[in-house]
Amino acid sequence: MKWLDDVTGVLLVVDATSDPPLTQTNITIIGNLEARNIPFIVVANKIDIENSNPDKIVSVFPQHTVVPISALNGEKIEELYKAMFDKFN
């Protein structure tokens, strides 16, 4: 994960309709981000879909900033921008 050496912040996008939201890939990425002290936000996407469960993602990542959004229709994008400003500024 040498590419992380040049990263100043990360948006980790997680599918809010997927179960389980915590995959080995996400664990590896988060571990590497934490080890390098790189700030990141977990983005729970697809909240516009009926079976989405952003609360489950929040419960899986309680120690991290989680922002539920719909990238398709722009729902809660302003909240994501605010979280990005707060976290990455």
Give the rounded distance of the alpha carbon of 7 from its chain centre: 16
47, 80 Cβ separation under 8 angstroms: no
What's the CA gap between 67 and 8, in Å, rounded? 19
Q: Which CATH code of 3.20.20.70, 3.40.50.300, 3.30.360.10, 3.40.50.2000 fits the domain covering 2-88?
A: 3.40.50.300
Residue 1's pLDDT band, with cuts at 50, 70 and 90, is low
In whole angstroms, give the CA distance from residue 53 to residue 59.
Answer: 10
Q: In the predicted model, what is the mean pLDDT of residues 57-84?
A: 96
The contacts of residue 77 (CB under 8 Å, 6+ apart) are 69, 71
Q: Round to whole Å and give the CA distance between 19 and 66.
A: 16
Give 29-39 pLDDT, tens digit per residue: 999 999 999 99
pLDDT in tens, 5-58: 788 899 999 999 987 767 888 889 999 999 999 999 999 999 999 999 999 999
Q: What is the largest CA-CA distance in the chain?
A: 38
